[in-house]
Copies of this chain bind each other. A is one copy, B any other.
Amino acid sequence: MHVVWYTAMSMDGRIASADSSLDFLSTIGPGQPTPDGDPWDFDAFLARVEAIVVGASTLRWLLQGGHGWPHGNLPTWLLSRDAALAATVGATTAPLVRREGDVGAVFEEIDTAGHVIVWLCGGGGVAGQALAADRIDEVVVTVAPTVLGAGPALFDGVGLPLRRFRLEECRTLGGDAARLRWVRQR
């Protein structure tokens, strides 16, 4: 199993503003055409994803913004103590299961189900728990050319171990954004 935390952040590591706005993403220009052999542009990435892990805050943000849950075709594990939250998503073509407690056990379950490429869809709190459990295999982040100063971060967690990553990709993307791709060094 290979867990990828794929997202965008501001120069200062925030994935949304303090009031949950994603307006900062407007500073990212259109991406270049996908180079041959680069599997990491979002559509190509999503086509490879076999299962999704999403936290309650991210899902609530999507629902409140009227986006619904756009990935109902992929088996999804929702990390939430709120038993009613999954029901508000409505019908999905693939199972959406809610789990709470140890995030490590959730990844065990996904692994056992045979899914190989898993997208950690958000947010930073879930990413922090996954990092603590050493379940983050890859971080793909587009760094927008602006600053937020506050808001949820790429990783949120206290006392996380200093996991070491290998920088696999470092390039300009979408005008003045930077694409960084890190793979866990084991």
Contacts and interface: CB of A to CB of B under 8 A. Distances in A.
Interface in A88-143: 124, 128, 131, 139, 141, 143
A8 B128 CA distance: 21
A146 B162 contact: yes
B145 A167 contact: yes
This chain: how many copies in the complex? 2
Contacts of A158: 18, 149-150
Interface residues of A, number: 46
A146 B163 contact: yes
Contacts of A23: 162
Interface of A: 9-14, 18, 23-24, 27, 124, 128, 131, 139, 141, 143, 145-150, 153-160, 162-167, 170-172, 175-178, 180, 182, 185
Report the 10 A-B pairs with minimum CB-CB distance, sorted nearest first: A13-B13, A149-B157, A149-B160, A12-B154, A167-B176, A12-B155, A145-B165, A149-B155, A12-B13, A170-B178
